[in-house]
Chains A and B, each alone.
Chain A
């Protein structure tokens, strides 16, 4: 095993150990905030997977995040107290009642035209399953269309961008079903196997930490499979990969779907932690911000992108405590971003890699040098 490899494994293990040890250092409020950043870390991994390893810059990752978030939020909305206390024996979201036509029955099936869509979400497991299935299915269908047609580069970015904005507009327009701009607030708690995930509890933090660790390790393992290698070959030269007989689009779709699945899970976790889902998840700026995290952390390093996301958000939260610095911080982020693209295109992960290289080479030289004088004596 090479030194680089050992270092890599150590870095992953250290990172996972740190996030699991974090609850020792802070109270529940702080943990809730860190849980959000861990979710952002998952988004960083999802971006690095498609952008760094597949060369697909997805500017619409917010779509999969948002869909995952909305699916679970619909279920949690129905299990909240306000939905249960609306004068019906079965839950009805409060905003539907506010906007209901006079005389409409207080039933989920028919309070308005689209409300029947909510019926399956009375069970939390439906929300949980759809939160990952829907992003995966949509990513699969989109990937099939886009990659089979050999669309690449910036055109993929523009299609994903247009799609996320399209879905956002439809969500906002479908006010009776989705509560439009306001999004879904006042949600119940996620309950799995009798454990209630109170957002301000250690259990929820450990849930996020476990999901992030599994995502990191899973993504790492999958890029080291043969499929992962072929994917990187496609990224470097898709024409050559095609001539070598590989089904290029199949690999691209596969990794696109995995990335969408990670984003979907991240969306669900975010809803559990932050207790709301809103169309802002599908804003252009949020999707680009994820890319910024990954770029600063290192686009072709899964761990780097993850740490980039967490680090930027932690610093941002610290800086935001001082009011005068809030707007200045955004300007600093803009500046950092320009500088990273210009002078550090491989991000923090790339720098770490270079430092390690340099260190290893020095050590080898160090071993070689003491031998030299002896040789000269012999001569």
Chain B
């Protein structure tokens, strides 16, 4: 039983890893960022490329991926998303277009493949990332075999969540973000530079996705389309938890992860995912504002 719960916890932490960035961009800014999954993908490719070209370990790729995807997020916000605030469904469509662009950029090696130049680590093929030896294998804890890498993921997720919580609730920048979540116009009237804070928030959310990508690359094959399913999972988690509620996102990712693990033991992985989708639909039908949400003003 303990090992099933552990698998659920690790599934939940992966969900949270992806959803954390979305909880910020969607929850705080009301942007449905369909390119979020592609940020995860780019993060994973940063891990692949830094492994090949810099001979760097996975740990070093984490800050590198954060910087790369945060800068990319900043660019996307400046060029596209900025013009679409308040047009919620249009952000969904535009970022879907960006998602396709990013996928094809990686697949075509940023256009270099047209000139016959091949960059190792890019292209349409599958990539793998080596996990450092001290993160491989399992250890025993209270009669359950615990996978070391999954434990590492849980630890990183916990650290990132704590960091996000600290930034949101214990710094002045976070206070500005929370003010914008509640009421952007009033926040602007109080002297907050809404545009600047939004750009920073979007970059931070994208950076988190990049870190998620590095973690993913350790146990999944890396390929250009890998982000599409993740962004769906991420949205399910955020909506179930309640838009704009960090606490709700954490709890709902844990909940959905455990449901997934428990159902998968009884049946199979495919049905377990179907059950998770069913639970999400039920939650939205019964409580459209999510399990944990506050009243916007």
Chain A residues within 8 Å of B, Cβ to Cβ: 57, 145-146, 149, 151, 153-155, 157-159, 161-163, 165-166, 169-170, 172-173, 284-285, 288, 291-292, 295, 324, 327-328, 330-331, 333-338, 341-342, 345
Contact = CB atoms under 8 A, between A and B. Distances in A.
B7 to A, nearest CB: 19
26 contacts: A57-B92, A146-B285, A151-B285, A151-B288, A157-B89, A158-B235, A159-B281, A159-B285, A161-B232, A162-B280, A163-B277, A165-B232, A292-B96, A292-B97, A327-B107, A328-B108, A330-B103, A330-B104, A334-B97, A334-B98, A334-B100, A337-B97, A341-B84, A341-B94, A342-B80, A342-B94
A295 B101 CA distance: 17
Interface string B275-289: 001101100110010
Nearest to A288: B96
A324 B93 contact: no
Contacts of B97: 292, 333-338, 341
Contacts of B235: 158
B239 A337 contact: no
A170 B274 contact: yes
A151 B93 contact: no
Interface stretch (B147-155, B167-175, B265-273): B265-273
A337 B94 contact: yes
Contacts of A295: 93
B105 interface: yes
Contacts of B232: 161, 165, 284
Given A162-B277, A162-B281, A173 B94 contact: no
Report which residue of A155, A172, A331 has the largest number of chain B beta carbons within 10 angstroms of its beta carbon.
A331
B104 A149 contact: no
Contact of B277 (A57, A165, A285): A165
B99 interface: yes
Nearest to A59: B92
A337 B94 CA distance: 7
A158 B108 CA distance: 31
A348 B124 CA distance: 33
Contact of B101 (A145, A149, A331): A331
A352 B279 CA distance: 44
Contacts of A333: 97, 100
Given A145-B285, A158-B284, A173-B271, A345 B90 contact: yes
Report which residue of A163, A172, A173 has the largest number of chain B beta carbons within 10 angstroms of its beta carbon.
A173
A324 B93 CA distance: 27
Contacts of B114: 324, 328
Nearest to A149: B285
A328 B83 contact: no
Classify the interface of chain B: helix, strand, loop or mixed.
Answer: helix
B288 A173 contact: no
Nearest to B271: A173
Given A337-B93, A338-B94, A342-B94, A331 B105 contact: yes
B239 A158 contact: yes
Nearest to B26: A154
B236 interface: yes
Nearest to B229: A284
A341 B93 contact: yes
Interface of B: 32, 80, 83-84, 87-90, 92-94, 96-101, 103-105, 107-108, 114, 124, 228-229, 232, 235-236, 239, 268, 270-271, 273-274, 277-278, 280-281, 284-285, 288
Contacts of A154: 32, 88-89, 92
A169 B94 contact: no
Given A57-B92, A334-B98, 11 more contacts: A57-B89, A151-B284, A151-B285, A163-B281, A169-B271, A292-B96, A328-B108, A331-B101, A336-B97, A341-B94, A342-B80
B96 A337 contact: yes
B108 A327 contact: yes
B277 A169 contact: yes
Contact of A334 (B101, B124, B270, B285): B101
A284 to B, nearest CB: 6
Given A173-B271, A328-B108, A331-B108, A162 B100 contact: no
B286 to A, nearest CB: 8
A162 B236 contact: yes
B32 A166 contact: no
A338 B80 contact: yes
Contact of A166 (B107, B108, B278): B278
A151 B286 CA distance: 10
Contacts of A327: 104, 107-108, 124
Given A165-B232, A172-B270, A337-B100, A342 B285 contact: no
A166 B281 contact: yes
B42 to A, nearest CB: 15
Contact of B93 (A165, A170, A285, A291): A291
A342 B103 CA distance: 20
A7 B264 CA distance: 58
A158 B236 contact: yes
B225 to A, nearest CB: 9
A291 B278 CA distance: 24
Contacts of B124: 327
Contacts of B285: 145-146, 149, 151, 159
Contacts of B108: 327-328, 331
Q: Which 5 A-B pairs have the closest CB atoms?
A: A334-B100, A337-B97, A331-B104, A338-B97, A166-B277
A285 B88 contact: no
B80 A149 contact: no
A65 B92 CA distance: 22
A67 B157 CA distance: 39
A157 to B, nearest CB: 7
A172 B97 CA distance: 28
Contact of B270 (A145, A169, A336): A169
